[in-house]
Amino acid sequence: MMNLARVPMSLTDYAMKRMQALYSNGPLSRFGTQYLFDALAWAVALTLAQILRYEFDVTRVAWLSLALLCVVAALIQLVVGWLLYLYRGRHPYGSFAEVRTLLWAVLATAVVLEILVLLVGLMWRIPRSTIIIALPIAFVFMGAARYIKRLVIEHSMKPTAELERALIFGAGYLGSTVVRRMVTDRESAYLPVGLIDDDPGKRNVWLHGVKVLGNRRRLVDVARHTGATVLVVAVGRADAALLTEISDVASEAHLHVKVLPLLDEVLAGKSRLRDLRDISIEDLIGRHPVDTQVESIAGYLQGKRVLVTGAGGSIGSELCRQISKFAPSELIMLDRDETGLQGVQLSISGHGLLDTKDVVLADIRDADALAKIFHKRRPEVVFHAAALKHLPMLEQYPDEAWKTNVLGTLNVLQAAREVGVETFVNVSTDKAANPTSILGHSKRVAEKLTAWAADETGHTYLSVRFGNVIGSRGSMLPTFASLIEAGGPLTITHPEVTRFFMTIPEACQLVVQAGGIGRPAEVLILDMGEPVKILDVANRMIDMSGKDIAIIYTGLRQGEKLHEELIGENETDNRPIHPKISHAKISSIKPQNLDKAIWLARCGVGPTAERDGAAQ
């Protein structure tokens, strides 16, 4: 049976907990202090208004009527403030949003009071000008109370531990946000001691008590004067050139450079706006991201069945993540690497169970398996990212390049043709422009096969070509990082070798956009700016590590170029849609003209032979 003796105590406890919740975190959290301050502000304002109206002759003031007017003003302020959520915790303390709402509440209360005074003012002996005089006084008092409360709260939130002294580069909105975070966050590890900005118009700016102390040319002196050890870069969309200059000057000043996380990472929940990270080599060799406006033309994906080959790789997985944002009716992720598929499924679906139809385990070398998958799932858009990509490995095993990059691409194209795929985007490489390596030749043939499929179907079958992708699996930067971590030496093929670089998200944006702006049998090429000298990258990574690492030159490997090219001979640099994207037209090759022996000969492997179109 129920213990009746315990019921009243349980109900009391429950009621107390509910009241505590209401006052601490709920809609009544600000009712007490804020409303009392506002009611008192009206009382003081109305009293001062009448005293001023009668030129400080207090004997003429009708005190009883004034007291009644103060009570009415407090009640009206309560009703209006409650309706506008002024006392229900909608706005941060002392914010512009709260002040704006407060102004509307005070104006509304004053209008109602003025109407009452006009109706009964003579009877109550209340001058009609009282409300007009009291209105600005009440608003100033209420705003001042909120500002003081905000100062008290921010002071109580200031960190008390010993902090690292930091300079902030950038006195704009982002810099202001960073400074405010540092001075009000108890968990902050940094104390802002000064701002650096190159804009002469900001030399007298103060942000939350922190002053602009000079521009980057004075960074060494400012760092020595303030004792700062950290430089936080707070410049929105800072490009590699700016970050490189800042990093070089900071190095002279013995400052450790920190940067803010990317907005995409913040929105994706990977990091918080207040999180700072060390400046990376990717920041220094990357470029200012090209605005490809992918959202404006990716409507061809919405509601469509989309298949991605090589979905478990660096490019394929990011491609899947970007495609998923455009609401395809079905996203089919195909790869022969089950671990890679698990990773991309985890990043998109939040689980890696591998028991759903969105992941498909298959090898593009298996034509029969591909045909069955395409006939069963009937994709409408295909992104072909599966390939072998390591140049020296393929120089040793050219047969594998033939089986995957050439025949595998042909298998995917044939399967796509059979089920009427409307859009097919083949992911290629800059090594296909005037190829000198097995990798380049194999990807060149893949481009030509894609052009053939475009001629056969009349649909948008095209290729996308770009350079080295920063941070992809097995790429240069992770390799250099591993060698430096191991203590070296760091190996470079040639002191003058250069390469083009782009980020994985930018590469995938180009691939997605290609399906919307490309035309059949074209190769789309992103303007990747100036090539980067690999020796410069190596030296900077060594400097950032703080280690003494030797550099060894191994010589260019078989098939490797000293300088890569993006556009091949006899290819046009036509940019009809986007100023940073070239559209090149290439010739096609029919599958029946493929000959492995002749292709190998053109690649410099096996007996010499000639046959037009077989490998070029």
Percent of the chain with pLDDT over 90: 33
Q: Which of 142-156, 375-389, 499-513, 601-615 has the highest mean pLDDT?
A: 375-389
How confident is the model over 370-423, as pLDDT tens digits?
A: 999 999 999 999 999 999 998 889 999 999 999 999 999 999 999 999 999 999
d(CA 213, CA 402): 62
The residue-averaged pLDDT of 133-161 equals: 76
**Predicted local distance difference test score (pLDDT) of residue 156:** 60
Instruction: Name the nearest CA neighbour of 221 among 194, 256, 258, 257.
Output: 194
| pTM for the whole structure | 0.67
Question: What average pLDDT is seen over the chain?
Answer: 82
* pLDDT at residue number 414: 97
Q: Residue 24's pLDDT band (boundaries 50, 70, 90)?
A: very low
418-454 exposure pattern, b = at least 16 Cβ within 10 A, e = fewer? ebebbbbbbbbbbbbbbbbbbbbbbbbbbbbbbbbbb
| 586 to 44, 267, 389, 591: CA distances (angstroms) | 82, 40, 22, 16
Residue 530: band (very low, low, confident or very high) from pLDDT cuts 50, 70, 90: confident
Over residues 574-583, the pLDDT tens digits come to 888 877 788 9
Q: Which of 556, 413, 407, 544 is nearest to 485 (CA)?
A: 544
Domain ranges of the chain: 26-156, 164-279, 294-469+501-527+564-602
Q: What percent of the chain has pLDDT over 70?
A: 83
Distance CA 347, CA 361 (A): 18
Angle between the N-to-C axes of helices 63-83 and 96-124, in degrees from 0 to 180, rounded to the nearest 10: 150
Tell whether the model's pLDDT for residue 268 goes beyond 60: no
The set of long-range contacts for 563-567, using a CB threshold of 8 Å and a minimum separation of 24, is 563/497, 563/498, 563/531, 564/430, 564/431, 564/433, 564/467, 564/498, 564/499, 564/500, 564/531, 565/430, 565/433, 565/434, 566/430, 566/433, 566/465, 566/466, 566/467, 566/500, 566/525, 566/528, 567/433, 567/525
**Average pLDDT score over residue span 196-222:** 87
pLDDT digits (tens, 9 = 90+) for 34-55: 888 888 999 999 999 989 888 8
Which two three-digit tokens encode residue 595?
């000959």
pLDDT of residue 449: 97
Predicted pLDDT at 274? 55
Determine the pLDDT at residue 438: 94
Which band of pLDDT confidence, cut at 50, 70 and 90, is reported for residue 295?
low
Same fold, 164-279 and 294-469+501-527+564-602: yes
pLDDT surpasses 60 at 158: no
Question: Average pLDDT for residues 313-334, to the nearest whole number?
Answer: 93
Which whole number is the average pLDDT over 258-268?
A: 62
Q: Provide the pLDDT confidence category of residue 275 given band limits of 50, 70 and 90.
A: low
Is CATH 3.40.50.720 what the domain over 164-279 is classified as, yes or no?
yes
pLDDT, tens digit, 9 for 90 and up, residues 441-476: 999 999 999 999 999 999 999 999 987 777 666 677
Q: What is the mean pLDDT of residues 193-222?
A: 88
* Residue 191 reports pLDDT greater than 80: yes
Q: Write the DSSP assignment of 471-504 as a string of letters.
A: T-TT-HHHHHHHHHHTT-PEEES-TT-EE-EEEH
pLDDT tier for residue 221 given thresholds of 50, 70 and 90: very high
- C-alpha 23/C-alpha 35 separation (Å) is 13
Neighbouring residues of 612: CB distance < 8 A, sequence distance ≥ 6:
none
Residue 319 has pLDDT above 90, yes or no: yes
Q: Sorting pLDDT into bands at 50, 70 and 90, what band is 590?
A: very high
| Amino acid residing at 398 | P
**Predicted confidence band of residue 17 (pLDDT cuts 50, 70, 90):** very low
For residue 343, is pLDDT > 90? Answer: yes
User: Which CATH homologous superfamily contains domain 294-469+501-527+564-602?
Assistant: NAD(P)-binding Rossmann-like Domain (3.40.50.720)
Name residue, tokens 């009883």. Answer: 64
Range from 103-117, 277-291, 322-336, 507-521 that averages highest in pLDDT: 322-336
Q: What is the DSSP letter of 557?
A: P
